[in-house]
Structure 1
Amino acid sequence: MTRDFDPRDAQVSIFDALIEARTKFGAKTAILEDQERNPLTYTDLIRAAFALGRKISGFTTKGERVGVMLPSSAGGVVTFFALHAIGRTPTMLNFTAGIRNLKAACELAGVKTVLTSHRFVEQGKLHDLIDALEPITRVVYLEDVREKVGAADKLFAAAGGFLPKQLSASSKPSDPGVILFTSGSFGAPRGVVLTQANLVANARQIAAHIELDPAWVMFNPLPIFHCFGLTGGVLLPILNGMKAFQYPSPLHTKQIPPLIRDSGASILLATDTFVNQYARAAEPGELSGLKFVVCGAEKVRDETHNLIAERFGPIPLLEGYGATEASPVIAVNKPTDNRRGTVGGVLPGVETRLEPVKGIPGGGQLFVRGPNVMAGYLAADGTIEPPVDGWHDTGDVVSITDDNWIKILGRVKRFAKVGGEMVSLTAAEDLAVSVWPECRHAVIAMPDARKGERLILLTDKRDASPDPLIAHAKAIGASELTVPRKIIRIQEIPVLGTGKTDYVAIQRMAEAELRRTG
């Protein structure tokens, strides 16, 4: 059931929050599982964290920022809690970000040791990443660490199961809980330091906003290097008594739907792109057991809402909104109050502030403050730069209703000045989605000598042309300035590992095409 949120309830370390959840929901409650189908109880998870943590403590130091390059899996979750058990800071590395960004992340965070897995590296064909990391870090494979777990380690783990509070490293709620890196959709990723209280607060804010049943199962195919996958797919269920079912890649379109059914999943975390793919690939009944789906990272299309409803019944798709800097959830729709076209109600405990944006009426640039807002960004010298007065600038232009429901109008960076008027690139994308809902689209702006800027549509629609867009804009009364006149047809819209459109790659593709064609 939902409950009131009190920020004081979040003033607890992550490992202590795990211990509290065990006490509340039962030591023998199965709480973690992955595709290997070997469920772990709360006590199993705590003991595994102590056993692994004791070995990791032998080659790291207290307070060290330890790199974690693992998929969403039981092993990845155990490693996260193991680092907390021994007072290290998990630094989650995005293995889809490319060699340059990965090395930059390690250097920025001062990572000396990276934990990964032979099996993961082999299956993901990540040898190039390992080769790039080895000159600047020590790469440690968990299979090698587990082989060295001896009788003394097992005894310590057993004792930890009985006396976890006494044997875990002391840490404060204000201590770092994780270091993550922003998605890099619009530029270079930034290092974000979230405190332990930030993460616990966000899990408890969500539980105060949406009624959750401990008997439910959360299916998480999203990466744990992304805050949505870590908080929503790991901490939220485990701290609220729900089993967290981890799956290593959202890209396995054919394997995931039957596993959603077989795992008894109640909630699916995903993005619009992935949900759409699962719905098309799934057999009848494979998604029908879901209570609801939570979507983030990108806008949910009407086509996806309708596709789920037509094929699997009235399963609500709850669009949410967040930022890594906010741990990440800021707002989300509810199963009992799901408003299409919005990203939901603001979570309890989150303050909002809108600042006017010149040329954009009807909304403002969103700033947020609350117990889930980060300690700060990592500076080049290793220090933490906190948000001014606790307010984080989301960079998004939104409108907010009287009852605190948010509608995204676009990012500040996602507006162009065309013929002297501010035009939303998001609105231009929406035009294309309305005309060709079965395809993927991205709109960017490029300099134009005559109009200041012009809109360019990149699409996987093979025969796309401006005429249907112009006709639709006229039919709905939209300004023709929102219609991209230049269209570049491409094989596939590039996305990041988190499922977001990769606008940096889109920009490069457009520039290359314009150089080629003039």
Structure 2
Amino acid sequence: MSEMTTLVGLLDHKARTQPEIAPLEFLGDTANPPNYADLDRLARATAARLTELTAPGDRVLLVMPSGTDFVATFFGCLYARVLPVPCPPPLPGPMAERFAAIVADCAPNLLVTERDWVAMLAAVEGPKLVSAHELRESATDPADFVLPEVRPSNTAYLQYTGGTTGSPRGIVLTHANVLANLALASADNVLTGEDLMIGWLPLFHDLGLVSQVLQPLYDGYRVVMMQPQDFVADPAHWLRTVSERAATMAALPGFAYDMLLRRIPAAERATLRLDRLRIARTGAEVLDPAQITEFLAGFAASGLRPESLSTAYGLGEAVVHVCIAPLNTPPVMVRADRQRLERGEVVSGAEDAETVLLAGSGRPGSGVWVTIASLDEQRSLPEGFVGEIMITGSSVAAGYWGVEGGTIAVGGVDGFLPTGDLGCLLDGELFVLGRTADLIVAEGRWIFPVDVERTAASATPSVRAHACAVFAVDGAVVLVAETKHADEAAIEAIRAGVLARHGLELKDIRLVGRGSLPMTTSGKLRRGRTRDLYQQGALN
């Protein structure tokens, strides 16, 4: 792929050299899967109309389900040199908040959706609304549309952050950034046209867009996609498709593995064949060793191999991939001394010491460099010391979309980008421990919220670690957890468990109903927002 330097050139090349190959299939779509020639033709038709409605550099919001319309419109924007902005629909809850924040930040000139969603979006305050089908009804013959000159340094699209610790920010990604990250993932995963991925991640999510649309175009592998809501409704259907189609790749956030375990009975797991999976990518802000171990044990009867469960670390500021576990390597786990960890060091614990089990998130990919910096960002730290994860490389974006339509420069130690994540490097492996904004310092000790949350979940079956938030208020530590049944016994079990394991006295324990804790659209807990709601008395 050395001749491909932009995403525009990538699709154009595929359409000219492999026009009949269909890289993407959408489950439930009655139309034939689009081949490269179809995608190029639809993108050109879209671009022809966009040049009449917009100017180069304008932002175009893409709000539509996974499907041909999304892919054709995304590339149509690239062909027209306007900036596509993948965005969730404004459904009640986190998606509506995210939609409003993105519209306010990037001031889009146009909102494109599919025909079935026009009525729903017509009632939403926002930019001019048009369907993808209408966009393609240009008087210009797609064959007559001339591709513009696009340079690798030109901005390709805006990818908004999840907003875990604040409002979503628009990452300005160039064609060069994206192509560099595609090359990284291709080389480190040894991706080929023989691979098949079964996906369900939404295309407004960075991992969904890259692994299910852009990477297959780069490497030639095929992707079969289902809608995210169909996965949530019936995760077993997704896994059956992985089994029946003999898929070699899958990518899931941590909460999805938990969902599969809880909702697919052991008897059904035994009927599945997952031995053909060579890469089952799992990534999270902090990987859960117990969850990984339980998932591997739970699906061992399906033929799932430990070395196929590939841990990773990524973020939108680097397109998506930063660290990837080496192929055919089981997840790396380290049992760290708890007292040393609370002082900012990761060392193996002695047999008689209190320890914390940590899971590694892989090693820096080709062309990406990772360093750990002190929390004041003044110096790099040696291996084994905890600090802020910082990254640099050709995949890393130059900045965020600014309120005046420019970019906000990012910096750090020696030009490395601060990620806002806490972690350490140990023997070349990255261990992610949380967010810098969530770290609690109590009596000189570093308290990692996720560690305390897991302790609370182990203390009572009525609480799950992934629906529990620990944070500080005026120097005191508070825990809020979702539960079906709030009772004094559960509260006392949590209080005693946290005190025994962490020597930490919780000022308040608040048990709330399911669905009360604020999450991002990708299922990540927003601890800062939870603290705000707690202080406002808005948690029930």
Shorter-chain TM range is 0.7 to 0.9
Residues 471 and 477 in structure 2, CA contact (< 8 A), matched pair in contact too? yes
Output the CA distance in 2 between the equivalents of 1:253 and 1:74: 23
Does the alignment pair 1:202 with 2:181?
yes
Output the CA distance in 2 between the equivalents of 1:199 and 1:168: 19
Output the CA distance in 2 between the equivalents of 1:468 and 1:155: 66
Does the alignment pair 1:348 with 2:366?
yes
The one of the two structures with greater contact order (alpha-carbon pairs below 8 A, sep at least 6) is 1
Q: Which stretch shifts more, 309-318 or 283-292?
A: 283-292
Does the alignment pair 1:406 with 2:418?
no
Question: What is the deviation of 1:504?
Answer: 4.8
The superposition leaves residues 135-193 of structure 1 with CA deviations (integer Å, 9 ceiling, x where unpaired) of xx1111123334x356x53554xxx7xxxxxx322111111111121111111111211
Find the counterpart in structure 1 of residue 148 from structure 2: 169
Output the CA distance in 1 between the equivalents of 2:124 and 2:459: 44
Question: What is the deviation of 1:11?
Answer: 7.4
Find the counterpart in structure 1 of residue 232 from structure 2: 251
CA gap 1:299/1:141 in 2 versus in 1, 3 angstroms: same
Q: Which of the numbers 119, 133, 143 marks the counterpart of 2:125?
A: 133
Question: Which amino acid is 2:190 matched to?
Answer: E
Structure 1 residues 104-183: aligned runs within 5 Å: 104-120=101-117, 127=120, 130-134=122-126, 137-146=127-136, 148=137, 153=141, 155-156=143-144, 167-183=146-162
CA gap 1:180/1:343 in 2 versus in 1, 3 angstroms: same
Find the counterpart in structure 1 of residue 491 from structure 2: 465
Output the CA distance in 2 between the equivalents of 1:74 and 1:300: 33
CA gap 1:116/1:286 in 2 versus in 1, 3 angstroms: farther
Output the CA distance in 1 between the equivalents of 2:322 and 2:402: 24
Does the alignment pair 1:17 with 2:10?
yes
Find the counterpart in structure 1 of residue 201 from structure 2: 222
Does the alignment pair 1:193 with 2:172?
yes
CA gap 1:100/1:399 in 2 versus in 1, 3 angstroms: closer
CA gap 1:386/1:258 in 2 versus in 1, 3 angstroms: same
Find the counterpart in structure 2 of residue 511 from structure 1: 535
Q: Which of the numbers 445, 465, 479 marks the counterpart of 2:502?
A: 479
Output the CA distance in 1 between the equivalents of 2:513 and 2:533: 9
Residue 232 of structure 2: SS of its match in structure 1?
coil
Residue 432 of structure 2: SS of its match in structure 1?
strand
The superposition leaves residues 250-298 of structure 1 with CA deviations (integer Å, 9 ceiling, x where unpaired) of 5333443344445553322221112322344444445625333212344
Find the counterpart in structure 2 of residue 269 from structure 1: 251
Output the CA distance in 2 between the equivalents of 1:322 and 1:94: 20
Q: Which of the numbers 307, 323, 332 marks the counterpart of 2:315?
A: 323
Question: What is the deviation of 1:491?
Answer: 1.6
Question: What is the deviation of 1:30?
Answer: 2.1
Gaps of 5+ in 2: 333-358
Gaps of 5+ in 1: 1-7, 161-166
Residue 170 of structure 1: SS of its match in structure 2?
coil
Output the CA distance in 1 between the equivalents of 2:528 and 2:449: 15
The superposition leaves residues 334-372 of structure 1 with CA deviations (integer Å, 9 ceiling, x where unpaired) of 4412324011111111122221238x9831211111111
Output the CA distance in 2 between the equivalents of 1:253 and 1:502: 26
Find the counterpart in structure 1 of residue 339 from structure 2: none
Residue 336 of structure 1: SS of its match in structure 2?
coil
Taking only aligned residues, the RMSD between alpha carbons, in angstroms, comes to 3.1
CA gap 1:169/1:64 in 2 versus in 1, 3 angstroms: same
Residue 153 of structure 2: SS of its match in structure 1?
coil
Q: Which stretch shifts more, 331-340 or 70-79?
A: 331-340
Residues 109 and 191 in structure 1, CA contact (< 8 A), matched pair in contact too? yes
- Please, what TM-score do these two structures have when normalized by structure 2? 0.80
Residue 407 of structure 1: SS of its match in structure 2?
strand
Q: Which stretch shifts more, 181-190 or 71-80?
A: 71-80
Q: Size of the alignment, in residue pairs? A: 482
